[in-house]
Structure 1
């Protein structure tokens, strides 16, 4: 198999010239050069993809228009982290309470309390790594020194990642998954919750690494709880925003968040929201249940 040769490194000036050669209009070259010194060229050009045809920019596309999209995406990521934080903390609490009350404070370490033993072994390995990484956290120190390193689930839940929370829920016994769904999320199927947590984990990790959400294709297909919403995209970020309204039970929190999202989007009227799966009636869909 023939291997392609890597492109040679380019200077910031050369990078800007490449964009100009592809017919991007650069209003202020000094400002553009300064930006490319702070923002990786490869990262920046990912935002140019919707504006190109055959690798040439469409007529009238400017450097500032691309940068505006870049700025919007950064603010959009911050907004999404608010609802992801709410959901993550809620699920940590609900799962830890459920496991503790049914199986005891360290029942999470017993594979008999879960669906698949092989998955459980991997879960314990991941949990032990999280505890090790949190070695100097006061709560970990307290239980290590006073309880012979026996960590109850309500302590462990505070150091596990959202990805682990998602996988933990998926590996709970069917009756336990159904009980959590029924207790906290009326009329939401436990299988939908499994899917939503997995997708939210992907989005959270992208937000945490400042990765692009605009025109990002989610590798896991999004499920919807209502058949009439089957027209919503199954691999774009709006889909998981829409589903999040079922996971946030504090209506005031959700309403205020939607208001702030509307305000953010109103400040970037040139952004084409369809690239993220937003339908024309996106605001009404988020508010109605």
Structure 2
């Protein structure tokens, strides 16, 4: 027999998940899916109580640890179900790649282990050994998820040479200024072989000339050498449209030094294909201007305004002879 609260939870869960699937903004989608997952979790928790204890609810001696372990495990299972059947299939199919798949498997395993152990202990009992096993499983899964995320990012996005990229943290305005979207979050600045830089997680592939790095380190006090993270101001020039950007990153002296020594745009720009193309376009424009000038000079010569000698001198100057 269903009660009003259970009916309310299942209706809210379905409604929130539906709004999450139909929404257009990524952050709002995630919020609705998380709220929907919590509502479904509370519905399942009510069913669990009915099955295990009948309609009497939990015993008075129920420990907070038991409640936290069981409800959080149910929530993890519900969120993973939403991931596999909603996010992966309905929203972003590429979420089926590592590390999301790895994180999902580990979190499901930990949730099942936790529910089994604490259900075995019971709501009023406490066993140190079982709790310790659960804590070890959670720490192991967290570490494996962290490794999978790091390895995936480095292998998929970054070059093998660690001196070619720097991990950066940007403020909101700077991230938007260089093309961050909710789906493509910027974590790295990378140096290309021609000396330009780009942000590899942004799909636009825009390249910039890093022309200046402004950095003043801060310390925890005047008497120690414990360095704090400080603002790094990076001056970038978009190589596509020559727009200038000054963005703010957060880092330490080592990051700023690497940016200064290896990432500043080289003085010799002869190897840059885009700058060559721009230079060739400018040369063509100049040639058209030169031809127009010669036509005007010839007209002045024909009209007797200038002499042949004047014409020859100007002609040589225009043609660079």
What TM bracket, shorter-length normalisation?
under 0.3
Task: Determine which structure has more spread, i.e. the larger CA radius of gyration.
Answer: 2
TM-score with structure 1 setting the length: 0.23
Indicate the structure whose relative CO is greater, using CA pairs within 8 Å and at least 6 residues apart: 1
More strand by share: 2
